[in-house]
């Protein structure tokens, strides 16, 4: 695919999302806000289904993982202990000509220069300067060589709570969490004391996180307010190797199970690691909309750093009593961390298909049936009561177990096209023949084949098909 094809693919998906009620730019009537989005009816359904599929794998199907829903606001010291305050910065470079903004690490990556969050800004600028002198550094958007120096930019979103009179006083400053795992570390002790899990065990949670992202023109791939799904797995250090491999396998398989092909997935090994980590791998998906492989999920080993830091800063004893060895230890941690919005874009990118059918273009979301926002659409062939009444009765019957939509507007062809575009696996057409044979036509989204099914058999039929 050329760069133009990628852009056009992104435009198609962004347009479908808005036109069909998946994703809207936030605050649009006030001119919008950069990198913040709202999810409409179908978007919310799809997002919730992805979240539930993750939760099912990570919590429901596991004896060794429990759930959590911690608050967004946390004690400000949390982020000092974790190194985010004062450390969670992305150096940025601006193009003076087209005003595009880039992360310095992304620009340097193209020249095989690897930097991380510990690399001093002076060193980053030295690298950039060298490339500038060699006339190699160009704006990826407009090709201009007129780029600024790298400047440090905090990703933490600040707020304040407390009495309005002392608003903005330093003591009241709180941060909107930049990642959800902070809440897991802080609730590790309560989880131990209340649920008594034995090592190894995990705590999983899904929730909002906030980052003042500087490069934010990639639709829901990178947003300033987003949802993360994270699982922190607590273990003894000697278990790390085996369990890390186990989770890498589980997470990779999850993508395959939900219809992502192996060819479009790859592992990316981090070359430069945080000082406490021994290994870090990302799962990358080959986005058509973004023109190549991009990170969707990270699996990181974190040593005993997080619990040691929180223990040091809070004064709380965060050790675990190992009954076998009769000793106390600080558990090590392995995390899996993935953005829900990123998976949302990945599934749309993967599912969006254009086909020619009878000389016409059909766009269809060939998404896993379990993730599809609407499972079944009930479409009476005409608006006459003799058809709408039995059609609504079918809707009444199916709604208990499935997300079903009823639609009697426009021609049947247009209704099929709409359902194809939102990824509905089955359309049920109620026609005049239904009045005689008490049966309906069921159309399959992917093959477009039609089957005649007795109304009395429908629930059973869909239970099997949508399992
Ligand atoms: P990137 O390098 O792409 O900014 P990251 O390495 O900073 O990502 P982590 O801090 O490891 O990301 O976060 C874990 C996961 O959270 C990422 O793999 C991604 O899926 C998701 N994520 C991080 N930042 C964002 C964001 N701004 N918008 C949407 N999802 C995000």
Domain annotation covers residue 354: no
Mutation probe of ligand 1 site: the residue of 298, 340, 349 with most atoms within 8 A of C-beta: 298
Instruction: Using the predicted structure, report yes or no on whether residue 71 has a pLDDT greater than 90.
Output: yes
How far is the centre of ligand 1, averaged over its atoms, from the C-alpha of 227 (Å)? 10
Ligand 1, atom 1, lies closest to the CA of: 295
Q: Does the pLDDT at position 419 exceed 90? A: yes
Ligand 1: which residue has its CA nearest to atom 19?
339
CATH of the domain at 408: 3.40.50.800
Identify the residue whose tokens are 């060939």. Answer: 366
Report the distance separating Cα 198 and Cα 325, nearest Å.
13
Domain ranges, residue 100:
89-154
Looking from the CA of residue 216, the nearest atom of ligand 1 is 27
What is the predicted pLDDT for the residue at 67? 98
Do 63 and 190 belong to one domain? yes
Closest ligand 1 atom number to CA of residue 222: 28
Nearest CA to ligand 1 atom 26: 222
Distance between CA atoms of residues 107 and 131, nearest Å: 10
Residue whose Cα lies nearest atom 20 of ligand 1: it is: 339
Query: How many structural domains are present in the chain?
Result: 3
Residue ID of nearest Cα to ligand 1 atom 18:
297
Is 208 part of a structural domain of the chain? yes
Residue 128 lies inside a defined structural domain of this protein? yes
Task: Give me the half-sphere count of Cα atoms (radius 13 Å) on the Cβ side of residue 8.
Answer: 6
For residue 229, how far is its CA from the centre of ligand 1 (angstroms)? 11
Q: Which residue(s) pair with 229 in the sheet?
A: 206, 338
With a Cβ cut-off of 6 Å, ligand 1 is lined by: 179, 211, 213, 222-223, 226, 228, 295-298, 337-339, 341-342
pLDDT score at 312: 96
CA of 221 to the centre of ligand 1 (A): 9
Residue 242 and residue 386 in one domain: no
d(CA 423, CA 340): 19
Least confident interval from 161-165, 413-417, 450-454: 161-165
Nearest-CA residue for ligand 1 atom 29 is 222
Residues 96 and 210 in one domain: no
Residue 299 scores a pLDDT above 90: yes
Residue 440 within any structural domain of the chain: yes
**d(CA 18, ligand 1 centre) in Å:** 24
Q: Is residue 84 part of a domain?
A: no
Distance CA 174, CA 166 (A): 13
CATH number at 127 reads: 3.30.40.230
- Among 248, 228, 244, 230, smallest CA distance to 303 is for 244
Question: What is the band of 5 on the pLDDT scale with cuts at 50, 70, 90?
Answer: confident
- Whether residues 181 and 315 fall in one domain: yes
Nearest protein Cα to ligand 1, atom 31? 339
Distance CA 214, CA 106 (A): 12
pLDDT tens, residue by residue, 153-200: 788 899 988 765 555 556 678 999 999 999 999 999 999 999 999 999
pTM score over 0.85: yes
Q: Is the pLDDT of residue 342 over 70?
A: yes
């Amino acid at each position: 695919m050329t760069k133009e094809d990628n852009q056009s693919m992104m435009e198609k998906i962004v347009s479908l999302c808005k036109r069909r009620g998946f994703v809207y730019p936030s605050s649009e009537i006030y001119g919008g806000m950069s990198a913040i989005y709202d999810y409409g009816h179908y978007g919310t359904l799809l997002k919730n289904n992805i979240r539930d599929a993750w939760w099912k794998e990570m919590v429901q199907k596991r004896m060794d993982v429990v759930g959590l829903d911690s608050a967004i606001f946390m004690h400000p010291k949390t982020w000092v202990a974790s190194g985010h305050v004062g450390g969670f910065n992305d150096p940025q470079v601006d193009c003076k000509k087209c005003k595009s903004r880039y992360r310095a690490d992304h620009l340097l990556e193209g020249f095989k220069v690897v930097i991380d969050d510990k690399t001093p800004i002076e060193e980053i600028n030295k690298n950039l300067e060298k490339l500038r002198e060699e006339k190699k550094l160009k704006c990826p958007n407009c090709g201009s060589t007129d780029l600024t120096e790298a400047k440090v930019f905090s990703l933490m979103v600040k707020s304040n709570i407390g009495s309005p009179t002392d608003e903005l006083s330093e003591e009241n400053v709180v941060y909107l969490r930049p990642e959800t795992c902070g809440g897991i570390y802080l609730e590790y002790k309560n989880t131990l004391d209340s649920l008594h899990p034995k090592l190894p065990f995990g705590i999983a949670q899904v929730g909002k996180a906030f980052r003042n992202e500087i490069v934010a023109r990639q639709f829901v791939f990178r947003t300033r307010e987003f949802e993360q799904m994270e699982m922190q797995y607590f273990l003894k250090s000697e278990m790390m190797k085996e369990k890390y491999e186990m989770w890498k396998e589980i997470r990779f398989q999850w993508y395959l199970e939900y219809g992502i092909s192996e060819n479009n997935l790859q592992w990316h090994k981090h070359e430069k690691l945080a000082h406490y980590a021994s290994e870090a791998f990302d799962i990358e998906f080959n986005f058509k909309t973004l023109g190549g492989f991009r990170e969707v999920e990270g699996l990181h080993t974190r040593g005993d750093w997080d619990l040691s830091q929180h223990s040091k800063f809070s004064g709380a004893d965060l050790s675990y009593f190992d009954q076998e060895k009769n000793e106390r230890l600080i558990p090590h941690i392995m995390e899996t961390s993935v953005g829900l919005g990123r998976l949302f874009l990945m599934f749309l990118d993967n599912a969006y298909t254009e086909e020619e059918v009878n000389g016409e273009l059909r766009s269809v979301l060939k998404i896993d049936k379990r993730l599809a926002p609407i499972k079944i659409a009930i479409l009476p062939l005409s608006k006459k009561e003799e058809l709408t009444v039995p059609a609504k009765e079918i809707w009444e019957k199916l709604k208990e177990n499935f997300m079903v939509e009823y639609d009697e507007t426009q021609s049947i062809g247009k209704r099929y096209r709409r359902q194809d575009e939102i990824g509905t696996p089955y359309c049920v057409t109620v026609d005049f023949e239904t009045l005689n044979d008490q049966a309906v036509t069921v159309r399959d989204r992917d093959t477009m084949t039609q089957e005649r099914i007795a109304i009395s058999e429908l629930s059973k039929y869909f239970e099997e098909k949508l399992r």
